Amino acid sequence: MTTTSTAGKDRSAHASIRGYCYQFDRTILEVLGADSDTEVLVEGLEDVDLLGPSGTTAVQVKYWASKKYSTPRSIHEPVELMLDAYSQGKNHDFILHVHFGQESYPPETLTLDELRACLTRRTTKGGVQIHRDYEKYSEETLIGFTTRLIIRSGDDFESQNRSTKKQLARHLSASEQDVDDLHYAVALTHVQSLAMNPDISKRKINRTNFLDRINTRQALYTRWHVETVGADRYATGLARRLKQLKVLTPTKNKAVVISIAQDEVEAQALACRLAVSEYGPGKMYTATPWTLVVDGTDDQIRRIKLAVLKNGVGINDGYETISFQTSAFGAPPIINRRRGGDIIKLASYTIRIISMTSFREFIKEGNEFGVVFALQGLDDELCRDGSSDPPVFYQGLSVEHIHKIIGGK
């Protein structure tokens, strides 16, 4: 008995989760399909309210894959809720977006008789009783409501999910792979946060703002990414997307901020890679060296610097172990070109490495980088102040993943 009960609860929970995700996907599609002058209110009168210049359309979403549509009574609950709102002066258009299983489909509209049938209940407790719930509304209200209600048969879960991702790809001018690896998870997170906000004014969004929000370069590696794509796919997708956006071009002054807690050995490997392979002899003279900002102890940072020096290349740390000099740290490397051409032959240093303390001092003196790629939570505001382009934030990635994202092999 316990096993059966637990299994039943598991199935119920699974159905509820799919129902919420189905609603979130539908919300994304409604936002993307809205006119440019339409605001979308998430969790308003209904699941999604479309607030257009000529009026409001309230959309209720139901995912009933385990049920079969048989008669208008099958949609009694959502229809009565919408009718009740209409009778109280909500002069909106109403859409019931519903998916039934077993290849069963409700009608697109209800006649007056069908609405009455929908709102008629039969109970057997205390004897058979017929409840005509429509009788509490005037006939004028019932007739008016039938002209305002549209019933839309929704796709199954998988089909709607594919449509959602295709529409995101189209509106973002991105590949479906990028949407799978990056944008879809961000879109889900944003819709969820809107739905949970207790302030109704902050649950409104329009299509342009929504697309700006999910296409931001300030990409956050969140719990949703862990659950939907995983760290490896996310790192690959983010690397591809940053390359498309030309965020990490060789000529841009770039800083990557890491925590030594992520893995000291990998941090040393990353520093060596940036110093030896991403800048220096053989690279174009217009390129700029990377800056590695390390959140760690003095000894840990010293070991990273030593690992780089053992590769026979120079570093610039602004003399932070003596007294940090922002002017020395900000000075570009002195280079010699091959035969006076465009290729670097020698460089006085090939990487800049500093602690978070020195980084903070450098930024607070008014200096900035072209872009900062930073671990979220170390000092987000500082990273924003120090990044000319919007910074790229991440969470939960290893140094190895960071290496892959910023150009490592």
Q: Give CA–CA dist 17/23, Å, rounded.
A: 10
**pLDDT value at position 220?**
47
Contacts of 8 (CB under 8 A, 6+ apart): none
Percent of all residues in the chain with a pLDDT value above 70, rounded to a whole number: 92
**pLDDT value at position 370?**
93
Contacts of 143 (CB under 8 A, 6+ apart): 112
Tokens 């217009």, residue located: 286
3-class DSSP state of 331: coil
Question: How many alpha carbons lie under 13 Å from residue 182 in its C-beta half-sphere?
Answer: 26
Polymer length of the chain: 409
Confidence of residue 80 (pLDDT cuts 50, 70, 90): very high
Helices and strands (H, E) in the chain, number of each type: 16, 16
**pLDDT value at position 17?**
83
Angle between helices 298-309 and 264-276 (to 10 degrees): 40
Give the pLDDT confidence of 114-152 residue by residue, as tens digits.
999 999 998 888 788 899 999 999 999 999 999 999 999
Mean pLDDT along residues 50-58:
95
Confidence of residue 176 (pLDDT cuts 50, 70, 90): confident
Mean pLDDT along residues 25-31:
97
Angle at 387 between CA 381 and CA 391, to 5 degrees: 75
Mean pLDDT along residues 244-272:
87
Mean pLDDT along residues 19-33:
96
**pLDDT value at position 12?**
58
Residue 408: is its pLDDT beyond 60?
no
Q: Give CA–CA dist 38/119, Å, rounded.
A: 32
Best CA proximity match to 218, nearest among 245, 258, 251 = 245
Tokens 């003196």, residue located: 365
Instruction: State which CATH number among 1.10.238, 3.40.1350, 3.30.70, 3.40.50 fits the domain covering 10-158.
Output: 3.40.1350
Best CA proximity match to 259, nearest among 226, 321, 220, 301 = 301
Question: Could you write out the three-class secondary structure of 92-161?
Answer: CEEEEEEEECCCCCCCCCCCHHHHHHHCEEEECCCCCEEEEHHHHCCHHHHHHHHHHEEEEECCCHHHHH
Give the pLDDT confidence of 398-407 residue by residue, as tens digits.
788 888 787 6
Asked if 352 and 342 touch (Cβ cutoff 8 Å), the reply is no
Strand partners, 205: 40
Phi, psi of 156 (to 5 degrees): -70, 170
Question: How many alpha carbons lie under 13 Å from residue 318 in its C-beta half-sphere?
Answer: 22
Residue 189: is its pLDDT beyond 90?
no
- The least confident of 20-24, 120-124, 331-335 is 120-124
Mean pLDDT along residues 99-118:
96
Percent of all residues in the chain with a pLDDT value above 90, rounded to a whole number: 68
**What are the residue ranges spanned by the domains of the chain?**
10-158, 167-214, 224-405
**pLDDT value at position 291?**
97
**pLDDT value at position 262?**
63
Best CA proximity match to 225, nearest among 62, 31, 405, 385 = 405
Greatest mean pLDDT among 5-19, 219-233, 298-312 lies in 298-312
**pLDDT value at position 406?**
79
Q: Give CA–CA dist 176/174, Å, rounded.
A: 7
**pLDDT value at position 393?**
84
Phi, psi of 344 (to 5 degrees): -70, 130
What is the pTM assigned to this prediction?
Answer: 0.61
**pLDDT value at position 228?**
57
* Residue 65, H or E segment: none
Give the pLDDT confidence of 198-255 residue by residue, as tens digits.
999 999 999 999 998 887 544 444 544 545 567 777 777 778 777 777 888 899 999 9
**pLDDT value at position 53?**
93
Mean pLDDT taken over the chain: 89
Q: Give CA–CA dist 86/138, Å, rounded.
A: 12
- What one-character DSSP code corresponds to residue 369? B
Phi, psi of 407 (to 5 degrees): 125, 0
**pLDDT value at position 225?**
56
Strand partners, 63: 99
- What one-character DSSP code corresponds to residue 200? G
Q: Give CA–CA dist 234/290, Å, rounded.
A: 23
Confidence of residue 154 (pLDDT cuts 50, 70, 90): very high
Mean pLDDT along residues 187-207:
93
Residue 72: is its pLDDT beyond 90?
yes
